[in-house]
Structures are given as C-alpha cells and as structure tokens.
Chains A and B, each alone.
Chain A
Amino acid sequence: MSAVPTAVYSTINASLFARFLANDAAEPLLAVAAEHSLLPGSAFADAGALPSAPVDVAIVVAPPESVLTSVAGLLGGAPCDPQTLRDEVDAFAAAVSALPARLVLVATWVVPRRYSGGVLALDERWGLDGAVGAANARLLARLRETGTRHALNAAGWQATLGERAHSAKNRYLTHDPYAFDFWKLAVAEVKAALASFGGAAKKLVVLDLDNTLWGGEVGDGGAESLRLGGHDPVGEAFVAFQRELLALRRRGVLLAVASKNDAAIALAALDGHPEQVIRSGDLAGWAIDWNDKGYNVGMLCERLGIAAADTVFIDDNPAERGAVAAALPGITVPDWPANPLLYVDALRRIDLFDVPFVTDEDLARARTYAATRSLRAGVPHDRVTRVDVRPLSAADAPRALQLLNKTNQMNLTTRRFTATDLQPWLAQTDRAAWVVRVADEYADYGLTGAFALQFEGAVCTVTDLVMSCRVMGRGVEKRMLERAMDEARARGCVRVEARFVPTQRNEPMRRFLAERSGLTDGGDGCFSAGLDARVPA
C-alpha cells in the first residue's frame, strides 16, 4: 500500500510528531509531504493565508492559547467573553474546513500544563478549563457540519498520560510543550482514526467460554459452579467484561462463541445463569463442540460472511490462541492477561473497533444476525429475500459512503470516498448511483448494497459495486447487476462493463463476476457483456 500524502499544520514545533507520523510502521503508512509551522495568533484566522498544496490528510495541532485570543487573554489574567470566544472558534473551524485536504483531523484543545483556577476553573469567563471546554464543544459542533473534518481527542491523551503529557523543558528547548509519549499516543490515535475511515474496524469478536467469558469450567460443575457476579471480585470482573462486550455489540460489532464444551450444557449456562449478561440471543453464532478451534472459528467467519481479517479472537488459553492465529492468517488474536481482573482493560486496549460514525444499520446489525441464525441453519435464503433498489438520495448518502469505505469482500474496486468526493462525482449527468435495501421475513438488513454507473455512448461502466457481507449468498448481487443492466438499456447503451480491481480481500467479488454474473472476463480484469444478455438465474 502506498503512503498517504499528509500535511501537519501547527502553531508549535510539531516536528517530532511529524517524524513519528512519517516513520510509524502501522497501516496506513503516511508520507508527511509538508509540515506547516504557523505563527500563533491570527495564522488560522485567515484561511486564504494558509499553505495550500493539496494532500489527502491534514492534521492540525494548535494549543488553544495560540489560536484563540480569548484563551491567551485568560492566561494573562483578563476575563473571557463567551461570544468572542465562540466567534474565534468559528473562525478557526472555518480555516480548518478550508484546508486543501480530503480529510482533516483536528486535535481538540488541551488546557495548558496544570493551571489551577480554583473554584473558577470551570467558569467560562474566568476559568481556563471552562473556556477550553466550551471552545472544544463549539469546535466539535462546527466540524460535525462538514462531514470531512473530525476531532481527535487530545484531552484523552492528556488524561491517559497525566503529567507525562507535557514537557516544560521541551517547551523552551524546542518550542514544543508536549512530551515524547504525548506524540506517540497522538500518532497511534491518528492511525486508528485513519484505519477506521478506511473500513478497518473489526466486525466480529469470537470468544471462548471457560475462564474467558466466565470463571471456571462449565463442563465440570455445571452452571452453578461458575464464577460469575456475586460477592466475588473475579465473578464481578467477568460480569464487567461481558457488559463491555455487550456495549460493543450495541455499536454493531458481532459476538460469537467458539468453545470446546458440550453444547447443551454450555447453552444452558448462557441462558440460565442468573448473573450471565450475554445470552445466546446476543450471539450471531456459536461453535460449541470438540472440533479444532481454528477450524471452528474459520467456519464461524465463513457462516457469518466475515473475513478472518475483520475478526478478533479472545481466549484465555495461549495454546488455543496460537492454534487459531496459525489457522487463520490475518485474524487478530490479542495477548490475553491471565488475571480476569484485567480483562476489561485488555478489551479496551484493542483500539480496532473505532468507527468514524454509527449508522442505524450498525445498530441493527447484531439483531439481524441473531435473527437469521435459524435461517442460516437450513431455510433456503432466496425464498424469503426482498431486494429494493432505488436511486441514491441525500438521506442514504452517509450509509452509502460507509458501505463504500468499509466493504472489502464484495467490492468491485475498493475505491474509498469522502463526502466531498462523492457529491461532485455524482453531480455529473453521465453518472448515477443506486442503493439496495434487503429484508426477509426474519429481519430488515437495511441499506446493504450500492452501485454506481457511468454512461459513455453505447457503453455503461459499472464503476462501483459494493455489498455488505451480511447478505452474501442470497443472490442480491445478481439483482443489483440486473438493475444496472436495465438502467443501461433504458439509456440506450448496448454494452455493460465492470472493471475489477483485485485486492487481498475482494476474491468473493471476482468469483461472482467470473462464475455467476453472465459477464465475460476479458482477461485484463474487465468483465463485460452485450445488453441483449441477461444475468443467469
């Protein structure tokens, strides 16, 4: 993968940050094309004066006192006028919005090294914490309006590091008030944010049961022997861990179980233990038997239509962790603490679940998977699937954008977009896009597919075609292609083409094109057919 052109804008010396960014080995790799050290004060207030070589990503780090005159005044003992502060924040947000980058990440403002304001600390007129808090809230609201400018939680880095976030000496030696660890944490957060925009967030957590989800071995003593809840720190820790997992599920991450146990006994504990938080109804699937775990986890991924690379496996047993990691290249298998009291912290440290926004489809995903477990067990899919194809509307755009940016397996080109890229592209008269909703008698899967077409004379090109893995294997992709061909015919085209761009993960799309689409492989990744043809039944 090539490095992403990146610029750093700062009113302090952010060279160490830029160097870490440029040399950090985690994906996505960044090429720091420019580092703009701007003068404090009015530098950000005049968008037109900012350096303007376009890049993909811009990162802005500016201490509040360097860009907000009101905050500088507070440090000098003057009161802060709330309306003036809001105006200054708006000017800063406007300048940030105008930066020549597809995506801008802005570090939220951090209160300068411990500045005690006593009981006035949180007062917006006299307190630094109050003024900076109000400024951050205003900034977030302004950035939210843009869709492509986002905040990085720098206050969180400071909270994590405490006093170690700042370096009084560095401030004077290099004009950088922050310490080494602050910038390392900043780089990790930038990478996690960019990975989430690139669709790298994990979608599935597969869990062991004994001594992972609960304490003890259910096969030995039954549900009543388990350490779960009660007046027991270990039992409480397992309950807290389950609550943490359930919180992930509510945000759209699927949960599944792979356990070497007697299924009837284990499921009885899941649904019968009074302190159990996660019930079988919360699981998208389970494999509870005596098979090899690598096989079972792989089978769960396949059954759920989720790639191993989008999956996290958690097990207290290092041997099982090693076996699953060896069996499924790409799967994330975190080292896991031996002490259950540390499980919640270990889960929180997995910063691979972050997403840039949460859609209704995310919230419904776990429910629909659970609802279709019985369906996957044997009811024929095609009998119940309803597919609704409609032109892309403004209301559908956020979810369509998410699909384009998150989908890997059923993705024709794996082109990634921002809102600002998509709208001008679609505004051209020779282009159009549709979205697809899928439902069946068990669940509404929501907006799970999208495709875009470009019409050039007699040829219609499918420029993008993406479909969520949640509805794979139901013939939805065929319905999408059929609709694309109908649109092409209606516009007088005689030929349809789809240029496949291979990645490490979109083999399912290639197989569809090669085996089930009715299109002919030209040998160069271009699949095509005359429009007198039909998609095979």
Chain B
Amino acid sequence: MNLSREAVETAVYGAVSDLNESLPGDQRVALSGTTDIFAAVDSLAALNLLLRIEERVAEASGAPCDLTEGDLYETTLFASPTLDQLVNAVHASLVGAAP
C-alpha cells in the first residue's frame, strides 16, 4: 500500500475528529501532534479510534488496512503514543518498515 505520510496524517486526524463527535466537549481529543492519544480516551474509544483509522486509511488508499493485529496493535494500545507517533506507526506499517 502506497500512501504518503501526509495522507496518513489526514486519515488519522480525520478519524480523531470523527471520534470527537462521540465525546463530550470537555473530553474531546486535541488535534495536536503531541497529544498523548490513548491517555486521553477510554478503552472503548481507543478501539473505536483504531477501527476508524483503518476505515479512513482504507478509503484513502483503496486497499484494506489492518491495525488491530500484531505489533502495531500492541504498540498503539500499550505504548501510549502521541498523535504524531501514531501517524508514524501507521505510515510505517503501510510501507512495511518497522515503526
């Protein structure tokens, strides 16, 4: 799958915006590269976000995207990345490199 980092960033930020529609105003996730994304939301929202990112990335690339299996899943759920790190990890997984 060949998707630029910018395109991945757009997809991830779009997914966060979508997720924010399900959150109260004071709990919405700041759209900033330094936001500690999974510290900001509960586990259900974290899973919803990952699945939404998959949908957004698949929509942008035209090919399926799987973030809920293997290393990336572990990394994203347990390593508490920032939004920038999450974008990098997703992008790296798409081009087949280590995140």
Contacts and interface: CB of A to CB of B under 8 A. Distances in A.
Interface in B15-29: 18, 21-25
Interface residues of B, number: 15
A23 B22 CA distance: 6
B84 interface: no
Interface residues of A, number: 18
Interface stretch (A139-147, A169-177, A291-299, A367-375): A169-177
A174 B48 contact: yes
A24 B23 CA distance: 9
Taking chain B's interface residues, is the majority helix, strand, or loop, or is none over half, making it mixed? helix
A13 B42 CA distance: 15
Contacts of B36: none
A164 B54 CA distance: 12
Nearest to B45: A19
A41 B3 CA distance: 45
A180 B44 contact: no
A23 B21 contact: yes
Nearest to B15: A180
A470 to B, nearest CB: 39
B47 interface: yes
A15 interface: yes
A13 B47 CA distance: 13
Interface string B1-42: 000000000000000001001111100000000000000000
A170 B25 CA distance: 25
A415 interface: no
A23 B27 CA distance: 11
A180 B50 CA distance: 11
A174 B44 contact: yes
Interface string A1-38: 00000000000010110011011100000000000000
Contacts of A164: 55
Interface centre among B18, B23, B24, B51 (most CB of A within 10 A): B51
Nearest to B67: A169
B68 interface: yes
Interface of B: 18, 21-25, 44-45, 47-48, 51-52, 54-55, 68
Given A19-B23, A20-B22, A22-B24, 5 more contacts: A13-B44, A173-B51, A174-B48, A179-B55, A180-B52
The 10 residue pairs across chains A and B that have the minimum distance between CB atoms:
A19-B22, A20-B22, A173-B47, A180-B52, A174-B47, A169-B68, A15-B44, A16-B48, A170-B51, A23-B24
26 contacts: A16-B22, A19-B22, A19-B45, A20-B21, A20-B22, A23-B21, A23-B22, A23-B24, A23-B25, A24-B21, A164-B55, A167-B51, A170-B47, A170-B48, A170-B51, A173-B47, A173-B68, A174-B47, A179-B51, A180-B18, A180-B48, A180-B51, A180-B52, A180-B55, A181-B55, A184-B21
